[in-house]
Structure 1
Amino acid sequence: MNRLAPTRDAAPRPSGWLTGLALAAASATLLLGLHGGALAAKAPPGVFPPAPVAAAPAVPLQFDIVGFIQEASLDTASTICNASHPLLRGGLLKVNGREIVVPCNTILQMPATSLTWAELFDPSLVDASGGTSGTPVTRLALADAITAPVTGSAYPYNGVLPSYEVRVQGNVVKGRYIAGLIFISQQSLNAGFGVINCIDYANGELHVGGAAGVCASSDTRVRINDPVGRFGQSHGKPGSTADLKEAGYDRRLTADTDNPTIKAETGYPMCLPRKNPFGKVADDPVHNGFDPLCPQGNRPRAPYCTSLGDPFPNFAQPATGQYCHTWTMDPPDCATCTTDPTQQAPFVIGDPIDYAGTLKVDATGPYLSAHTITAHLGIYTTPGTRPSYVALEETLQGTGSLPIANLPQESTSRVKIEGMVSDPSMMVDLYAVDVDPVTGTTSERLLGTANPSGPPVVGRFRFKPNAGAYLPATRELRAVSRSMCGDNAIVCAMPGTSQPFWSNVAQPLAFANGLIAGQYRAPDFDFIFAEPTVVGDPMVPANFQDLPFLYCGSGPLGTMTVNGTGPVVGQLDPAPWDTPMIDPVFRSTLCPTARSVGSLPPPPRRQLFDTVTIVTANYDNKALKGKLSVVATDSLPSNTNGLQLYIQVSGLAFDPNTGLGTVVSLSSVPQPMSLVRNVAGSPAVCPSASPCWVYDATGVINNPADPGFFAAPISITVTSNMGARATIDSTRITVR
């Protein structure tokens, strides 16, 4: 409807109104006549033309890639970033054909433990020798060439196994894919189910899916990857002090020995007895007998499957003499009781279990090195008593990204936490674990409280609020049963400076062979980043800068290779964020010295047309001097800004006492080569008039088993900081 036309409901107009309207129409007609209709396209009176829409700004694009690890390299030459410590170095990762920059200070998540990118390359954690080229390898990538172990089994146990899976979330910054979060496993959905048909106590194995009472090689064999012996015998590589030694052992994929990842559904910790409780000690005193840390008395049989009591429903009893499927442990310190809640409960034949882990192979065949086992059992603890046990099953955190102009986006700060507890009578308090980026001191921020009493499942707690203030998102979350404080009416907080003034403070006590009962602290595997609200709109970046542990850092490193206090983990560099993204609100208080968004230098661009050629390699061991001379060239001009070549050499050193050979390297860090030019009147060094790169040194590869003697090189690798690499073996090395 024309806004100038009177309507039936319009108020009476003064007489001059129509006259003014007529004059306006006459004026418009006159103007149209004078200008040839030029004003015909103008908007009618009272309608304003829309303002021009500004173009969406150029922002980093988020990516989420899952696939096999094709290649993985460690930035030992500091071409990607300058790490403050070798354990905090970055590197490069290739997955699904895409090369991704791994920043310095990256801490990645394995299934049940955390490591830095550099720790993936630590040979002490794995029973396997290094790469054939002498360069550091993860032993997880398709491109990693692994030499057969010198000792142990002769079969290539890594060669027959698949590559490992990685999930990388990051942003494309100035053309480079830069990782923000990395999760690694052999296969994230690699899990199995079955009924325990046999237990090999001597070898620490659960057999699943076979004939009852018979341990056969055709069964699914499940071992617990437990380096400290928390849930049974300790496992380790050959030559270690572990109870059970496994060829191909990989400590990086261990179970969580600080929380019960080997458990019943209710979170009660389970174990595999270190001795056969049903064997005759006289027949085998080493492997038969009683294990006080895994007592058989903690597996009651019907009719002694006791219930929780009011107001909870009674548990069903199986046939008399059969193991209980659901029961309540006796109170602690009960002299006449048969079950002991301060110790773990053993697996027995007939238990249905879910298991997840890493596929391995030994002389018998394939087996699962498990980091997680859940028995389908309901083991509860006496209501209102200590200890009780908690397990987290699912966690999720929103990151609450702030909008970017002209890029409509959907973001959330919501949180979701689910788990189980063995004492359903006590409330469960849920916390975000904040970390001081300098000292590493943790403080816990209360998110909310959940009720595990059911229904429908007694012992399950769910925290899934529709809205609330839960930012910033943290790397780890914690669930605390109020049984730790002995008061169900008041919030129970772990010791620290963050607990509410009106809360009770827990008194952490170790039960079940060293576990802190009543709480469960675990990393979050799922963060929600922003998405565009209009399909087809430009993608919005993932706001990694809003995660304090990425933007500020997370304090001193405390991973498995660190003895004592490790180096301080700082801000990701290069950063997976850039303008027009903005600094987080916590920067001024939590890490005011952190480099702001956009101030970090852009990530290095890898030269795709760079080629390295090893021209000559001569080794002279006269008088045991071990003199090595290597000449190499690069396809780029020698004056290319920043061009540098590095050399890494490996050799085979023999132990004079055992006669065994071991692959040793020149050093853990590739050595720089020197740029030289042929000098008139002197013998030519370079193959042409152009400069070349030379490494010339004496006493190159020291034999650690026989100091003073040097190992002849078996491979030489030359790399450039532009990305090229060349490797030669002993057939191209001249030895005198």
Structure 2
Amino acid sequence: MHRLRVFITIWSLLLASVACQEAPIWVQGALEDATATDDAFNTGGTIVVNGFTVNVPKNLLVQFPAAWVPWKEFVANKADFTGYETLVIGNSINGEPRVAQIQMYEFFEGLSSGFIESLDFADGSLKIQNGPTSPSITSFSGFPMCIPRNESDPFCPLSNRPFVGPGTFTAPDPVVMAPFQAGDFITFSGFRRGAEVIAFSIVAQNVQINTLGDVVYVRMELGLLGIDNPNPNAEIAESRFIGFVSNNRATVSLYAMDVDPCTGATTNRIIASMGLRGGRNAQNKFEYRNNILFRYTREYRVTAEIDGVAKTRVTKNGITAGTYVQPVNVWVPGEQDVPGVPPVSYDFSQMEFLTKGVGADDDGNVWGPLEPFPQTGVLIEPPVCAAARGLELEKRGQISRWYGRARADAISQAENVDTTEAFVNIAPEEAAAIAKKKAEEEAINGSP
């Protein structure tokens, strides 16, 4: 009897130990169901993906390729997204699975391509050979493209395509869009809505439109963020931001877009400045490949510069040239480095949009930190804000309009060859954090 009592006590302690463990959650698969706890604007609930049910905290916004959607509205429209590929990232705490981030795709990195068969001036659509109807975005360089409303459309003039067919050329009028033509080869990705594909990315791969002087357009291909983890058994992935410009005189600066947790206003914080690969290259390609270790943001801004001066301007079409806001489209949490030990939980402590919130929307609702927070040991202090008021900020939450606000996440599969690495000047605050991290790793592992 005594031995049985000891066994039960030890087993209870083991169960308690297991229950108190914090473990990472990474579930990727088809959306099956979603529920809301109540009718509050920032309500949480549950999500079911691949048979796994995970608890959704208050204040969570679902990430789409071009919008952040409140959980309540997502649940109300869940029938439109059942079966879509869903990524859930979080931690299991005391046996309770908690969500930190949810990303939605129809198919992750889904990409289609084809030649344009015809253009319809009347409804602004294009038909792809063996493909659906899609709207327009850019040429390979980031120069904006369009479907003309008629043969003399002043905001999409045929004269901005000086010859028929693919090729590289300088825009005759650099501050107005260039039209698509039958025969352009495009890559596109998006969501199906009925018989249509609503594209958030579309690029004419065989059309390279360059600009001269101080006019620059920017296109981003990738925003991948490797998340640091203080656990010495965690390995960080290198962050990567890859894009292109239309003017080979340009350099670019990469900024984190910090969000005021009360007002929702954004400010730019410099990460690095960089040139084009090889000084100049046929693609006008730039890359940032390095660790980013703290104060992660949902979106990053790239601004083009010539001779150290930012070159942004509003075009005849109302587009702001020379800058590009890139949502992080790939999140890579720190992964376990050494097997055979307890798993490394994910770290969200440096994501201020989760620990502090994203501020007021245009209805005056203040979106605070995730509650409950999906990580232990993180001090969460909701910001003390003045009386909330509506701001003249873009509303980022209506599923019915999210695709209309798409920021091009162009997946071009471009290869850059015969070039050398460009200069990269890292901001002092970032460089200090990288040096500190390297010193800590050397102290643990021994100097190389």
- Give TM-score scaled by structure 1 length: 0.47
Question: Structure 2: how far apart are the matches of 1:572 and 1:273?
Answer: 45
Question: Structure 2: how far apart are the matches of 1:392 and 1:413?
Answer: 20
Q: How does 1:558-569 map to 2 (within 5 A)?
A: 564-569=362-367
- Asked if the contact 2:22/2:91 (under 8 Å) is kept, the reply is yes
Question: Structure 2: how far apart are the matches of 1:425 and 1:531?
Answer: 39
- SS for the counterpart of 1:139 is helix
Letter in 2 for 1:431: Y
Choose from 215, 226, 229 the match for 1:398: 226
Q: How does 1:305-324 map to 2 (within 5 A)?
A: 322-324=164-166
Choose from 181, 191, 198 the match for 1:348: 181
Q: CA deviation at 1:545?
A: 2.3
Give 1:554's aligned residue: 358
Question: Structure 1: how far apart are the matches of 2:250 and 2:149?
Answer: 33
Choose from 23, 28, 45 the match for 1:66: 28
Give 2:241's aligned residue: 417
Question: In the alignment, is residue 139 of structure 1 matched against residue 79 of structure 2?
Answer: yes
Q: Which runs of 5+ in 2 are unaligned?
A: 1-16, 386-448
Give 2:125's aligned residue: 205
Q: CA deviation at 1:414?
A: 4.5
Q: How does 1:218-237 map to 2 (within 5 A)?
A: 219-224=130-135
Q: CA deviation at 1:58?
A: 4.5
Choose from 370, 393, 399 the match for 2:199: 370
Question: Structure 1: how far apart are the matches of 2:349 and 2:161?
Answer: 49
- Asked if the contact 1:357/1:370 (under 8 Å) is kept, the reply is yes
Q: Residues 353-407 of structure 1: CA distance to partner in whole angstroms, max 9, x if unpaired?
A: 001112243xxxx33222211111211111x323x1111111122332212xxxx
Q: CA deviation at 1:464?
A: 1.2
Choose from 177, 182, 199 the match for 2:102: 182
Identity level (%):
30
Q: Residues 621-650 of structure 1: CA distance to partner in whole angstroms, max 9, x if unpaired?
A: xxxxxxxxxxxxxxxxxxxxxxxxxxxxxx
Q: CA deviation at 1:169?
A: 0.8
Question: Structure 1: how far apart are the matches of 2:296 and 2:210?
Answer: 32
Question: Structure 2: how far apart are the matches of 1:111 and 1:530?
Answer: 23
Question: Structure 2: how far apart are the matches of 1:168 and 1:72?
Answer: 12
Give 2:147's aligned residue: 272
- Asked if the contact 1:415/1:470 (under 8 Å) is kept, the reply is no
Choose from 160, 165, 168 the match for 1:326: 168
Q: How does 1:678-697 map to 2 (within 5 A)?
A: none
Letter in 2 for 1:300: P
Give 1:459's aligned residue: 284
Letter in 2 for 1:203: D
Q: CA deviation at 1:569?
A: 1.0
- SS for the counterpart of 1:167 is strand
Q: How does 1:117-156 map to 2 (within 5 A)?
A: 117-121=71-75, 136-142=76-82
Q: Residues 118-151 of structure 1: CA distance to partner in whole angstroms, max 9, x if unpaired?
A: 2224xxxxxxxxxxxxxx4422354xxxxxxxxx
- SS for the counterpart of 1:323 is coil
Change (3 A) 1:491 1:449: farther
- SS for the counterpart of 1:423 is coil
Give 1:518's aligned residue: 322
Q: Residues 418-444 of structure 1: CA distance to partner in whole angstroms, max 9, x if unpaired?
A: 101111211101111111212223221
- Asked if the contact 2:368/2:383 (under 8 Å) is kept, the reply is no
Change (3 A) 1:413 1:184: closer
- SS for the counterpart of 1:87 is coil
Q: RMSD of aligned C-alpha atoms?
A: 2.5
Question: Structure 2: how far apart are the matches of 1:115 and 1:424?
Answer: 37
Structure with the larger RCO, 1 or 2 (CA within 8 Å, 6+ apart): 2
Q: CA deviation at 1:170?
A: 0.9
Letter in 2 for 1:87: F
Q: CA deviation at 1:274?
A: 2.0
- Asked if the contact 1:429/1:491 (under 8 Å) is kept, the reply is no
Change (3 A) 1:528 1:57: farther
Give 1:8's aligned residue: none
Letter in 2 for 1:421: V
Give 2:371's aligned residue: 573
- Asked if the contact 1:72/1:141 (under 8 Å) is kept, the reply is no
- Asked if the contact 1:76/1:89 (under 8 Å) is kept, the reply is yes
Letter in 2 for 1:409: N
Rg (Cα) greater in structure: 1
Question: Structure 1: how far apart are the matches of 2:173 and 2:34?
Answer: 48
Give 1:540's aligned residue: 344
Q: CA deviation at 1:554?
A: 1.3
Q: Residues 46-94 of structure 1: CA distance to partner in whole angstroms, max 9, x if unpaired?
A: xxxxxxxxx99954211211111111122226xxxxxxxx332222111
Q: How does 1:6-45 map to 2 (within 5 A)?
A: none
Give 2:432's aligned residue: none
Q: CA deviation at 1:324?
A: 4.8
Give 1:479's aligned residue: 302
Question: Structure 2: how far apart are the matches of 1:172 and 1:91?
Answer: 16
- Asked if the contact 1:477/1:524 (under 8 Å) is kept, the reply is yes
Letter in 2 for 1:98: F
- Asked if the contact 1:452/1:458 (under 8 Å) is kept, the reply is no
Choose from 26, 47, 61 the match for 1:107: 61
- SS for the counterpart of 1:545 is coil
Letter in 1 for 2:201: T
Letter in 2 for 1:202: A
Question: Structure 2: how far apart are the matches of 1:512 and 1:170?
Answer: 44
Q: CA deviation at 1:202?
A: 2.5
Question: Structure 1: how far apart are the matches of 2:72 and 2:149?
Answer: 34
Q: CA deviation at 1:168?
A: 0.9
Letter in 2 for 1:342: V
Question: Structure 2: how far apart are the matches of 1:477 and 1:291?
Answer: 34
Question: Structure 1: how far apart are the matches of 2:20 and 2:237?
Answer: 25
Higher helix proportion, which one? 2
Question: Structure 1: how far apart are the matches of 2:345 and 2:131?
Answer: 44
- Asked if the contact 2:119/2:182 (under 8 Å) is kept, the reply is yes
Q: Residues 537-592 of structure 1: CA distance to partner in whole angstroms, max 9, x if unpaired?
A: 111111112211101111112xxxxxx353111000121112xx444xxx79xx67
Give 1:426's aligned residue: 250
Give 2:37's aligned residue: 75
Higher strand proportion, which one? 2
Change (3 A) 1:449 1:470: farther
